[in-house]
């Protein structure tokens, strides 16, 4: 027996507790769903405007016994360049409900970490729930496994009689652009088997007719805050990925996404200068060593009246690039550090730093990014592409680039520390959402010096030096495939 | 040790010091005492004549009864700007090494890059060819061409016998320092050679100080043919795992290095920082550490500190000899190739000095001498 829409609405309102659902007419009703390309097969919720909550819910009837649940499994997709979160609730027949913990600070330990598997069932990354929400990754299609331990006060529920599952999406200004795809939903009573063959399926929207979507699920658009679509898995829906060089994911190559006309590009670069610092003139640089354009960074010295003597050129996430913001993992490998190509154009050592801003999972609109800077004594790998020499140099705290150096730099994340003035954030290098990075230089001590920089990115393999006497097999040129 | 004395010593040794000078950086010359310095702690391994000092040793044991100690001394009595390198041969007698007379084996060369001070040697054995001749002993040394304790560079010399004669290799430093680029600072010095293959391939550690940073670097070098030496890029030696010295991150400078017999472990003794604030402004403690040898190739290479602080207390003898207020420029007793003789026992040879009692007191100037110390692992 199916619940009527009225009953479903009341139940949903009860489920979501303090969430104010809109009137019954907010429910999607007897519609024909448009089909779009997506990361998975299922349904997609697209936010239209801010103003409340929307949800996708399933109310099993009769209630089902999930007492042996070890993981709740949700097939999720995200065709955007930004990670989105949603709340997950379980409801028993008596009306008691549980939601996810509100994050690592409240409950330490790995047992409650949410696991994200890619669409080949390979573990992609793990993450905690933050603000009681589970997060999808940009441009990602796969499975989200929520362990039993991630649910708050689960023991208070009668797990023998689970009567509802709701996925709630917060439509706020901060979530503009939100798109989340939901496919198969089920659970595991034991460790997931190969290809998740032991999944106990709760529902699969891709297999439902339009009528079944209407009757078997609750699709609540919050009174016009969102639209629902069918999505069909199509790799073409994926955003363009960043360029890769060996184990490096290049985020900024100073060519892609910039104006072809040099004077226009120079104007663009000028706009990227940190206004409170100044002291740098960024222009296009090309020579026999560059790969297309590089950024020439001429340090003109402190600007009188400006509050900051650091010059900085800031790079924000490029639209249309899927993985610019997500640095955490690549092909199951954990990011090890940042990398870039640089040429010292001066007759003196020049020093610079690379600052990273990241949003913690669950960051809300108006929150500041958590700032990561180089610490004193940062130890950096250098590879000179002309002399083929490798170096380990030490910073204080900025990186010193030797005279005559042209080549690649690797800065391990282990030498990044939170900026002392940054009193907010979770103190974790999540790197799940990096909206901007900045190349900085002390315009006082580097006044009159210049360098060219290009191909800023992230590397994913541990890297050591090799010399003629010691072959680590893990050197920078080997990692990049340029030996 | 008497607890009261120990407390007194601790109070003395914990005075804060901020100067970041290297051990060989002494420039002032004044009226030194004419007599020899009486030992303040553990005794010297040999005594220089009055008005002469001995510091920055390199100590190798070539067989079960023979040691050679190479060190810096002054060529002219009571002249602290006349540094040269000397060697003494030690022979085991009744359980103790007795060192013979000093022989000056390397001096400045007029109008060359090493025309002023020739100091801080490191010596190993191996197989080296230079200008058609074969040599079995290689020395790296520190030198400059100005009357100041800066702008140092590192050169090489070879010999067919541990006691020389040594022939300088070429007329240019193997590790150069350009003050026009990097500033008129310490430069490159305090080399420590470790053989890679007991032939011509070596690791050359050295202290480096420029306008930006003081650190220790290492290069891998194939010196089989000294007419065409091959050097890697420099690797800054890690400070990770070393005791915090309050300077932002632990400073690694003025160190000596040795490999375990199997080559898998690297040992280091270095000056402890910060340096003393009163003369002589050198270290008053040493740090001993080890790490996996491959750690020098890893930006995250981490030391295992064996002894965070070897200081005055450790050279205490009795209430008349409370220990040395300065302990710096130490080396590790090694075999001819820069390897430990015995992994269970680490012997150090350190430089001692008296300290000035006031601004006018220059009696410390020619007091530095050399001492042995056994460090437990």
At A267-307, the pLDDT tens digits run: 999 999 998 888 999 999 999 999 899 999 999 999 988 88
Contacts with A377 from chain B: Cβ below 8 Å: 239, 248-249
- Positive or negative, the CA dihedral B48, B163, B106, B202 is negative
At B95-113, the pLDDT tens digits run: 999 999 999 999 999 999 9
The predicted pLDDT at position A24 comes to 34
Tokens for A438?
A: 């900045």
| Smallest Cα distance from A463 to chain B, Å | 7
The predicted pLDDT at position A102 comes to 63
Q: Give the pLDDT mean for A76-100.
A: 87
Peptide bond into A331 cis (omega under 30): no
Strands A123-127, A114-118: pairing is antiparallel
- Positive or negative, the CA dihedral B350, B354, B355, B361 is negative
The predicted pLDDT at position B13 comes to 30
Residue A366: pLDDT band by 50, 70, 90 thresholds? low
Q: Give the pLDDT mean for A185-200.
A: 95
The predicted pLDDT at position A470 comes to 94
Contacts of A58 (CB under 8 A, 6+ apart): A164, A165, A166, A185, A202, A203, A216, A217, A218
Per the CB < 8 A criterion, the answer to whether B105 and B89 are in contact is no
The predicted pLDDT at position B131 comes to 98
Distance separating alpha carbons of residues A390 and A477, to the nearest angstrom: 9
The predicted pLDDT at position B45 comes to 96
At A129-147, the pLDDT tens digits run: 666 788 887 778 899 999 9
| Smallest Cα distance from B214 to chain A, Å | 10
- Look at residue A1 and give its three-state secondary structure: coil
Residue B163: pLDDT band by 50, 70, 90 thresholds? very high
Q: Give the pLDDT mean for A259-271.
A: 92
Q: Would you tell me which residues 49-78 of chain B have a C-beta closer than 8 angstroms to some C-beta of chain A?
A: none
Q: How many CB atoms neighbour CB A81 within 10 A?
A: 21
Closest C-alpha among A410, A379, A402 to residue A392: A379
The mean pLDDT value of chain B amounts to: 89
At B267-300, the pLDDT tens digits run: 999 999 999 999 999 999 999 999 999 999 999 9
Distance separating alpha carbons of residues A203 and A185, to the nearest angstrom: 5
Cβ separation of A469 and B213 shorter than 8 Å? no
Distance separating alpha carbons of residues A451 and A453, to the nearest angstrom: 7
Whether B346 has a pLDDT exceeding 60, the answer reads yes
The predicted pLDDT at position A232 comes to 93
Whether A49 has a pLDDT exceeding 50, the answer reads yes
Per the CB < 8 A criterion, the answer to whether B253 and A404 are in contact is no
Rg of the Cα trace of chain A?
25
Per the CB < 8 A criterion, the answer to whether B238 and B296 are in contact is yes
Tokens for A336?
A: 């090890």
Strands B55-63, B66-74: pairing is antiparallel
Whether A10 has a pLDDT exceeding 60, the answer reads no
Whether A7 has a pLDDT exceeding 70, the answer reads no
Cβ separation of A464 and B215 shorter than 8 Å? no
Q: How many CB atoms neighbour CB A110 within 10 A?
A: 9
Nearest Cβ partner of A392 from B210, B222, B235? B235
Per the CB < 8 A criterion, the answer to whether B55 and B72 are in contact is yes
Peptide bond into B165 cis (omega under 30): yes
Distance separating alpha carbons of residues A361 and A425, to the nearest angstrom: 10
Contacts of A72 (CB under 8 A, 6+ apart): A88, A90, A145, A146, A165, A185, A187
Residue A48 class from Cβ within 10 Å (0-12 exposed, 13-18 middle, 19+ buried)?
Answer: middle
Measured at the alpha carbon of residue A55, what is the angle toward residues A50 and A59, in degrees to the nearest 5? 165
- Which of A280-289, A361-370, B216-225, B338-347 shows the lowest per-residue confidence on average (mean pLDDT)? A361-370
Instruction: Name the residue in chain A with its Cα closest to that of B200.
Output: A469
A392–chain B Cβ distance below 8 A for any pair: yes
Tokens for B97?
A: 């090494």
Distance separating alpha carbons of residues A458 and A248, to the nearest angstrom: 6
Distance separating alpha carbons of residues B299 and B204, to the nearest angstrom: 18
Beta-carbon contacts below 8 Å between A and B: 81
Per the CB < 8 A criterion, the answer to whether A342 and A448 are in contact is no
Terminal CA-CA length for chain A: 67
The mean pLDDT value of chain A amounts to: 86
At A92-135, the pLDDT tens digits run: 999 898 888 765 434 445 677 888 898 889 888 777 666 678 88
Instruction: Name the residue in chain B with its Cα closest to that of A463.
Output: B298
Cβ separation of A472 and B294 shorter than 8 Å? yes
Tokens for B275?
A: 């340096």
Nearest Cβ partner of A396 from B201, B203, B212? B212
- Which of A28-32, A290-294, B201-205, B237-241 shows the lowest per-residue confidence on average (mean pLDDT)? A28-32
Whether B7 has a pLDDT exceeding 70, the answer reads no
Nearest Cβ partner of B220 from A382, A403, A469? A469
Q: Give the pLDDT mean for A177-190.
A: 93
Q: Give the pLDDT mean for B119-137.
A: 98
The three-state (H, E, C) secondary structure of chain B, written as one string? CCHHHHHHHHHHHCCCCCCCCCCCCCCCCCCCCCCCCCCCCCCCCCCCCCCCCCEEEEEEEEECCEEEEEEEEECCCCCCCCEEEEEEEEEEECCEEEECCCEEEECCCCCCCCCCEEEEEEEEEEEEEECCEEEEEEEEEEEECCCCCCCEEEEEEEECCCCCCCEECCCCCCECCCHHHHCCCCEEEEEEEEECCCCCEEEEEEEEECCCCEEEEEEEEECCECCCCEECCCEECCCCCCCCCCCCCCCCCCCEEEECCCCCEEEEEEECCCCCCCCCCCCEEEEEEEEEHHHHHCCCCCCEEEEEEEEHHHHCCECCECCCCEEEEEEECECCCCEECCCCEEEEEEEEECCCCCCCCCCCCCCCEEEEEEEEC
Dihedral pair phi/psi, residue B12, rounded to 5°: -65, -45
Distance separating alpha carbons of residues B374 and B372, to the nearest angstrom: 7
The predicted pLDDT at position A123 comes to 86
pTM (2 decimals)?
0.77
A346–chain B Cβ distance below 8 A for any pair: no
The predicted pLDDT at position B14 comes to 29
Distance separating alpha carbons of residues A414 and A428, to the nearest angstrom: 12
Which is higher by pLDDT, B35 or A157? A157
Per the CB < 8 A criterion, the answer to whether B103 and B92 are in contact is no
B300–chain A Cβ distance below 8 A for any pair: yes
The predicted pLDDT at position A105 comes to 39
The predicted pLDDT at position A1 comes to 31
Instruction: Name the residue in chain B with its Cα closest to that of A394.
Output: B236
Q: Give the pLDDT mean for A168-191.
A: 89
Dihedral pair phi/psi, residue A180, rounded to 5°: -130, 135
Cβ separation of B236 and A394 shorter than 8 Å? yes
Residue with token string 């940042």:
A338
A444–chain B Cβ distance below 8 A for any pair: no
At B242-272, the pLDDT tens digits run: 999 888 889 999 999 999 999 999 999 999 9
């Amino acid at each position: 027996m199916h619940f009527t829409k009225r009953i479903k609405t009341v139940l949903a309102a009860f489920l979501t507790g303090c969430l104010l659902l809109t009137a019954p007419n907010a429910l999607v009703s007897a519609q024909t769903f448009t089909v779009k390309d997506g990361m998975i097969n299922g349904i997609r919720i697209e936010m239209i405007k801010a103003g409340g909550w929307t949800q996708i819910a399933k109310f099993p009837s009769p209630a089902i016994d999930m007492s042996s649940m070890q993981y709740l499994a949700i097939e999720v997709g995200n065709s955007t360049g930004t990670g989105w979160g949603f709340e997950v609730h379980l409801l028993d027949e008596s009306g008691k409900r549980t939601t996810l913990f509100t994050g690592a600070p409240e409950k330490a330990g790995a047992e409650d970490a949410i696991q994200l598997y890619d669409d080949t069932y390979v573990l992609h990354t793990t993450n905690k729930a933050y603000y009681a929400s589970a997060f999808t990754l940009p441009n990602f299609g796969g499975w989200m496994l929520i362990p039993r331990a991630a649910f708050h006060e689960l023991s208070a529920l009668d797990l023998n009689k689970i009567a509802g599952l709701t996925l709630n999406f917060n439509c706020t200004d901060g979530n503009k652009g939100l798109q989340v795809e939901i496919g198969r939903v089920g659970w595991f009573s034991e460790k997931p088997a190969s290809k998740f063959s032991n999944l106990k399926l709760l529902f699969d929207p891709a297999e439902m007719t339009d009528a079944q979507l209407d009757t078997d699920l609750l699709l609540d658009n919050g009174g016009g805050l969102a639209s629902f679509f069918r999505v069909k898995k199509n790799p073409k829906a994926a955003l363009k990925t960043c360029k890769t060089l060996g184990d490096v994911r290049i985020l900024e190559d100073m060519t892609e996404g910039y104006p072809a006309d040099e004077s226009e590009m120079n104007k663009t670069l000028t706009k990227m200068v940190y206004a409170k610092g100044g002291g740098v003139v960024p222009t296009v640089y090309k020579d026999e060593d560059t790969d297309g354009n590089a950024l020439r960074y001429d340090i003109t010295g402190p600007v009188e009246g400006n509050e900051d003597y650091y010059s900085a050129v800031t790079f924000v996430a490029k639209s249309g690039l899927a993985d610019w913001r997500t640095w955490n993992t690549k092909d199951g490998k954990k990011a090890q550090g940042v990398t870039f190509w640089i040429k010292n154009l001066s007759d003196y050592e020049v020093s610079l730093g690379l600052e990273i801003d990241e949003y913690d999972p669950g960051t809300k609109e108006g929150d500041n990014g958590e700032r990561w800077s180089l610490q004193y004594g940062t130890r950096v790998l250098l590879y000179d592409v002309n002399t083929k020499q490798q170096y380990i140099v030490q910073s204080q705290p900025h990186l010193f680039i030797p005279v005559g150096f042209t080549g690649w730099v690797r800065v391990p994340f282990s030498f990044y520390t939170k900026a002392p003035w940054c009193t907010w954030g979770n103190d974790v290098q999540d790197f799940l959402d990096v909206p901007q990075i900045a190349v900085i230089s002390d315009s006082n001590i580097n006044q009159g010096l210049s360098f060219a920089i290009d191909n800023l990115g992230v590397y994913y393999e541990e890297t050591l030096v090799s010399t003629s006497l010691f072959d680590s097999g893990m050197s920078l040129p080997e990692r990049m495939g340029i030996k | 040790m008497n607890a009261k004395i120990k407390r007194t010593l601790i109070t003395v040794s914990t005075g804060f010091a901020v100067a970041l000078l290297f051990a060989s950086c002494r420039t002032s010359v004044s009226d030194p005492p004419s007599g020899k310095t009486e030992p303040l702690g553990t005794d010297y391994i040999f005594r220089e004549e009055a008005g002469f000092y001995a510091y920055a040793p390199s100590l190798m044991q070539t067989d079960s009864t023979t040691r050679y100690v190479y060190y810096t001394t002054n060529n002219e009595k009571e002249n602290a700007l006349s540094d040269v390198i000397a060697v003494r041969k030690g022979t085991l007698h009744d359980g103790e090494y007795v060192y013979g007379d000093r022989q000056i084996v390397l001096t400045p060369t007029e109008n060359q890059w090493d025309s002023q001070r020739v100091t801080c040697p490191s010596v190993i054995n191996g197989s080296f060819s230079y200008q058609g001749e074969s040599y079995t002993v290689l020395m790296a040394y520190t030198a400059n061409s100005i009357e100041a304790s800066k702008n140092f560079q590192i050169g090489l010399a070879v010999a067919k016998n541990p006691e020389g004669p040594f022939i300088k290799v070429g007329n240019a430093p193997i590790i150069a320092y350009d003050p026009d680029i990097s500033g008129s600072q310490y430069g490159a010095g305090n080399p420590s050679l470790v053989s890679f293959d007991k032939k011509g391939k070596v690791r050359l550690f050295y202290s480096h100080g420029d306008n930006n940073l003081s650190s220790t670097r290492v290069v891998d070098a194939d010196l089989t043919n000294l007419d065409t030496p091959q050097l890697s890029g420099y690797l800054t030696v890690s400070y990770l795992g070393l005791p915090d010295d309050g300077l932002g991150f632990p400073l690694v400078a003025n160190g000596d290095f040795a490999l375990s017999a199997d080559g898998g472990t690297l040992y280091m003794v270095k000056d402890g920082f910060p340096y003393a604030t009163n003369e002589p402004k050198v270290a008053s403690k040493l740090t001993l550490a080890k790490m996996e040898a491959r750690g020098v190739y890893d930006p995250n290479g981490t030391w295992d500190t064996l002894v965070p602080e070897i200081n005055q207390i450790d050279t205490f003898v009795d209430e008349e000899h409370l220990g040395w207020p300065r302990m710096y420029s130490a080396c590790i007793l090694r075999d001819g190739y820069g390897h430990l003789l015995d992994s269970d026992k680490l012997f150090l040879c350190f430089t001692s000095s008296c300290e000035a009692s006031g601004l006018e007191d220059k009696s410390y100037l020619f007091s530095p001498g050399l001492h042995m110390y056994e460090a437990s692992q």
